[in-house]
Each structure stands twice: as C-alpha cells, then as structure tokens.
C-alpha cells in the first residue's frame, strides 16, 4: 500500500466548539521535517491568544488564530512544495538554473541569514 506525499489544509479549522491544530488542520510533505515545527507554532500562538476566559473573547481569538495560522502554513507548504518540485527536476537546462539559484542563495550572506533566522524562529 502507498499514498502520495504532499500537503493538505482543511478549509475550516474552527467550527463551533471544535478547533483543529497541527496535522489535523494541515500537513506538509516531510521535506526537511518542518511539519512538527508548524504544529509547535500552532500551539504557541494558541497559548498566547487564549488569555481571556469569556466565551465571546475565546471565540474571537480562535477565529484570529485560524486566519493567522492558515496564512502562515499556506506560505510554508507552498514553499516546501516548490522546493520538492525544484529538486525533482531532471531536465538539464532546468537543473542548471536550479543549481545557479541555490548557489546565489548560498553566496548571499544576508539572504542566507534571513532564511536561517526564519527556520530557527519556527523551531522556538
């Protein structure tokens, strides 16, 4: 048995009193092991938003959580899918362009640093 690796995101993460987080709400290709980091970011944001115990305030914060995390996980999963696609290319002209692009990233200290800081931010 096999299944395709890819990404998914539920259309609605919040419905009435049920909130989906982590892999229940979104999943990514296991490229670079970032799925667990996205889940940790879900929990971190949710913990920071839920400081008021009134029902209306909680519902408002949960909707805020859903909007924010959906946009962030969409960006991450789109980036991971793009990397998977780029590294899956085997046609000569395209692999040359891919390698040139990665060399430019590797040789541009400020861009490389920004990418590393974003990855580290997702770990904490």
> What confidence tens digit (pLDDT) does each residue in 26-62 have?
887 776 677 888 889 899 888 888 876 666 678 888 8
Q: What is the pLDDT of residues 60-99, one digit of tens each?
A: 888 889 988 888 888 887 877 777 777 787 777 778 888 8
Regarding the domain delimited by 1-88, which CATH topology (the fold level of the hierarchy) does it fall under? FAD/NAD(P)-binding domain (3.50.50)
Measured between alpha carbons, how far is 119 from 80 in angstroms, rounded to an integer? 12
Measured between alpha carbons, how far is 36 from 9 in angstroms, rounded to an integer? 15
pTM: 0.57
**Chain CA centroid to CA 69, Å:** 9
φ, ψ at 15 (rounded to 5°): -145, 115
Question: Domain residues of the chain, as ranges?
Answer: 1-88, 89-124
Measured between alpha carbons, how far is 110 from 99 in angstroms, rounded to an integer? 19
Q: Where are the beta strands (DSSP E) in the chain?
A: 8-9, 14-15, 18-19, 26-27
């Amino acid at each position: 048995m096999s299944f395709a690796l890819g990404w998914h995101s539920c259309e609605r993460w919040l419905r009435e009193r049920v909130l989906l987080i982590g892999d229940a709400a979104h999943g990514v290709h296991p490229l670079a092991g970032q799925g667990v980091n996205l889940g940790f970011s879900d929990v971190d944001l949710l913990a920071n938003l839920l400081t008021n115990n009134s029902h209306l305030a909680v519902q408002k914060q949960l909707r805020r959580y859903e909007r924010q995390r959906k946009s962030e996980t969409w960006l991450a999963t789109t980036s991971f899918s793009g990397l998977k696609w780029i590294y899956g290319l085997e046609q000569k002209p395209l692999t040359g362009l891919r390698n040139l692009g990665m060399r430019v990233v590797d040789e541009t200290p400020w861009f490389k640093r920004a990418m590393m800081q974003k990855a580290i931010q997702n770990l904490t």
